[in-house]
Amino acid sequence: MAFRIYNTLTKSLEEFRPIHAGGEVSFYSCGPTVYDDAHIGNFRSFLNADMLRRALELHGMRVRHVMNITDVGHLENDADEGEDKIARKARLEQLEPMEVVELYTDSFHEAMRLLNNKHVSIEPRASGHIIEQISMIQKIIDNGFAYVSNGSVYFDVVGYSKTNDYGKLSGRIIEDLIAGAGNERRELEGQGEKRNPADFALWKKASPEHIMRWPSPWSDGFPGWHIECSAMSKKYLGETFDIHGGGMDLLFPHHESEIAQSKGACGKAPVRYWLHNNMITINGQKMGKSLGNFINLDQFFTGDHPLLEQAYTPMTIRFFILQALYRSPVYFSNEGLKAAEKGLARLLNAAKTLGRLTAGAVSTSDIPAVERDCYAAMDDDMNTAITLSHLFEAARIINSVHAGTETISETDLTILQRFFPVFVFDILGLQDE
């Protein structure tokens, strides 16, 4: 079967066809802002990126996966004003900003290892690509889609929208954005530096107390949050690449702004397929640091959180997230986590039992159909939930054959030994702990 994914840009399931006919796939996904430990909601996005890579490799494709580290420019409340999240953490902890970056980058890498996410191909840092960001901003200015105001540079959303479709990815209407941003801006700041309140920062002039700053043609300052991904994806994947992934919470304004910046600089759409995962919810709300309702991974591993009834292993967390289609929400509950713990054990025990099976003359179960169903589920928008249901059927067959209540032929046993471990360990990325 062809591999199909849901393209957020077109709002439809599409057969994936890479730009390069040789099977090389260019893939960018948004990484962490390293000012604190990432929580399970963040890691759903990182796990989804890992699963996409595994699904593509299942088809023999070679994936260049680029995931950024945001270590500058991400201001509080994802806005154009306020303190840099990393600088604020450094001030509170009495550290240098790059001490904070190193501490939480190391923590992120360790969590990725524990969850068995593959190493990405390239992991660029925003602070290491200031030159590329300045160059892209200058191109946007030269093309008439940005302006300088008091040493800062802003993207001209209204001017851009006269010839481009700002809002297409997120489904936002430009007139509503202008009106809504205008009301909010008047309440918070007055007129400010922007021509229009819907405009967003490409470069910010640093205030005297701002630590993280670089020279530019416009001022000593720092890049906006959105421009880093446009500049780094272009550098490592080209002006147009195959897939961009991330959480639904990044649809607007981050990913919408990425498209505008890239088209403003290069005159073409940067991405062919946009892939977005849904959120993990807790008590009916999206889990997030801004809401203060998050549980980080160390707390899951130790059980040290008021909402946790026990500790849960990294593979239980991975299994728990994979039980839902990536586009569906995951609802936090101890009951769901305990069920995931049991489901994981069932598959891992079946994998061990598989090596002890002996063949009979005939099969009393349709093993080839189970194998086809597993591949079909992964090819249908990477549906890990359906894939797991078929693997549980395979586990049932394994246990029944081992117990003597079903039989399996030599041919079907070979098929089962071929696909079951591949799906459990290589494709879903589960492992013994």
Q: Per-residue DSSP letters for 150-169?
A: TTEEEE-HHHHHTTS-TTTT
Most confident option among 24-38, 162-176, 293-307: 24-38
pLDDT band of 311, cuts 50, 70, 90: very high
Write down the pLDDT at residue 187: 42
Write down the pLDDT at residue 179: 72
Compute the distance between CA of residue 422 and CA of residue 430 in angstroms, rounded to an integer. 10
Q: Is the dihedral of CA 361, 363, 368, 371 positive or negative?
A: negative
Q: What is the pTM of this model?
A: 0.94
* Model confidence pLDDT, tens digit, residues 193-226: 999 989 999 999 999 888 899 999 999 999 999 9
In the chain, % of residues over pLDDT 90: 84
Write down the pLDDT at residue 433: 79
Q: Which two tokens stand for residue 177?
A: 């954005």
In the chain, % of residues over pLDDT 70: 96
Backbone torsions φ then ψ of 222, nearest 5 degrees: -155, 155
pLDDT band of 188, cuts 50, 70, 90: very low
* Model confidence pLDDT, tens digit, residues 87-123: 999 999 999 999 999 999 999 999 999 999 999 999 9
Give whole-number Cα distances, 52 to 25, 31, 45, 376, in Å: 11, 15, 11, 15
Whether pLDDT at 83 is above 50: yes
Mean pLDDT on 391-413: 97
The order of strands in the sheet holding 24-29 is 62-67, 24-29, 241-247, 271-277
* Model confidence pLDDT, tens digit, residues 332-373: 999 999 999 999 999 999 999 999 999 988 999 999 999 999
Whether pLDDT at 68 is above 70: yes
Write down the pLDDT at residue 290: 67
Mean pLDDT on 393-413: 96
Looking at 133-142, 191-200, 407-416, which range is the least confident one? Answer: 191-200
Write down the pLDDT at residue 291: 66
Whether pLDDT at 146 is above 90: yes
Q: Which amino acid is at 248?
A: M
CB 158 within 8 A of CB 166: no
Report the mean per-residue pLDDT for the chain: 93
Whether pLDDT at 189 is above 70: no
Element (H, E) at 242: strand 241-247
Write down the pLDDT at residue 21: 83
